[in-house]
């Protein structure tokens, strides 16, 4: 199962809206004869790739997979049919697929055809691997990662609206690596105006387009923002309000002319805006700031995971703080991990225990 999980990780950042899945076929003698992963939505599933590699050697063998095999027809046919036809004798799965069209039916179909089924092996690891997929099903919204760079005294910048470079090149490389693994990167309009960022995944390879999102209820974004010069890297969505759209008609037209997609959301909460993103095949969002967006996400209980880059500097009390007015205890994070990145320290962990 560990081998199947390693193959599943090859699909990180590539399979949305599908889950990340890995599989391997092992003969009764313990010989691995087939490996596979789900590489991208619309392509064959991990089980099918592993069976194709195994060929006739799959007959009488055990199939290990990180998720219950599908039993329905989507962009591809049911994996259960391929497993049955291949003559697999036993299926070992890490977890049941909670997708409504599967949810235990895949296991039942296999059992009805005389295939032994075991589930729950390395379940916790499989759950962590598919948090975006599981969150989208359970919460009807993307998995939200709060990412911030702070000083030792918890400040995000030297002063409100002032662009402040805090972290090192090592932290920047790590941050770009994680941009390459999510479906979208999001900021507030204040960060757009202060930093004029590109929000692209540089320094690393990313196969799929990266969606960039700006939460801008006042429609303050400029059509000349550098972000709009990077549409080849992926779409730019500006989440605004109907009132702002009506008030700033010319700016709205100019932004659309520059390539932005404007989406109006009546509800002023960040939760409502984030839920709308789910309709655009976005299952994971890296929330990069600024302070107001982080604050709203935290107060609305939207944050699922935290990535905090701490630089060895102090900025004093003039700058905005991370989660002002809240007691943010890093020790309360589940499965907390701490590592050094050059002179900086990265602290990360789950806000809610993954399940």
10 Å Cβ neighbour count for 72?
15
SS3 37: strand
Contact 255, 155 (CB under 8 A): no
| DSSP tag of 115 | -
Distance CA 195, CA 199 (A): 11
Give residues with Cβ within 8 angstroms of 6, minimum separation 6.
Answer: 22
Specify the DSSP class assigned to residue 13: T
CA distances from 112 to 70, 105, 116, 260, 329 (A): 15, 10, 9, 51, 50
47 is catalytic: yes
**222 vs 214: CA distance, rounded Å:** 12
Which member of 47, 68, 288, 348 is catalytic?
47
68's CB contacts (< 8 A; 6+ apart) are: 93, 95, 96, 97, 102, 104, 106, 107, 119
Strand order in the sheet with 90-93: 32-37, 22-26, 62-65, 90-93, 116-119
Active site residues: 47
């Amino acid at each position: 199962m560990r081998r199947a999980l390693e193959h599943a990780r090859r699909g990180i950042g590539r399979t949305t809206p599908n889950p990340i899945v890995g599989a391997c076929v092992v003969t009764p003698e313990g010989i691995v004869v087939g490996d596979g992963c789900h590489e991208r939505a619309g392509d064959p599933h991990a089980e099918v790739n592993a069976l194709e590699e195994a060929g006739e050697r799959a007959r009488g063998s055990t199939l290990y997979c990180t998720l219950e095999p599908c039993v329905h027809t989507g962009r591809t046919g049911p994996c259960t049919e391929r497993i049955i036809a291949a003559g697999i004798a036993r299926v070992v799965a890490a977890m049941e697929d909670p997708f409504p069209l599967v949810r235990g039916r895949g296991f039942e179909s296999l059992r009805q055809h005389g295939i032994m089924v075991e589930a729950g092996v390395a379940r916790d690891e499989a759950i962590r691997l598919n948090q975006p997929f599981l969150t989208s099903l359970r919460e009807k919204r993307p998995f939200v990662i709060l990412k911030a760079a702070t000083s030792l005294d918890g400040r995000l910048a030297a002063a409100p609206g002032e662009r402040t470079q805090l972290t090192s090149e090592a932290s920047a490389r790590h941050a770009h690596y994680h941009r390459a693994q999510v479906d979208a990167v999001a900021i507030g309009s204040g960060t757009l105006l202060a930093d004029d960022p590109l929000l692209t995944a540089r320094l690393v390879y990313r196969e799929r387009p990266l969606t960039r999102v700006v939460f801008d209820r006042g429609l303050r974004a400029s059509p000349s923002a550098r972000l709009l010069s990077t549409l080849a890297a992926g779409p730019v969505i500006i989440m605004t309000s109907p009132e702002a759209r009506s008030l700033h008609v010319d700016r709205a037209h100019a932004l659309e002319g520059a390539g932005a997609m404007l989406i109006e959301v009546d509800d002023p909460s960040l939760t409502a805006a984030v839920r709308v993103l789910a309709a655009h095949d976005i299952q994971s969002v890296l929330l990069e700031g600024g302070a107001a967006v982080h604050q709203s996400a935290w107060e609305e209980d939207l944050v699922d995971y935290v990535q905090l880059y701490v630089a060895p500097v102090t900025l004093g009390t003039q700058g905005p703080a991370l989660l002002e007015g809240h007691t943010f205890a890093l020790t309360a994070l589940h499965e907390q991990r701490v590592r050094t990145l050059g002179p900086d320290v990265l602290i990360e962990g789950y806000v809610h225990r993954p399940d």
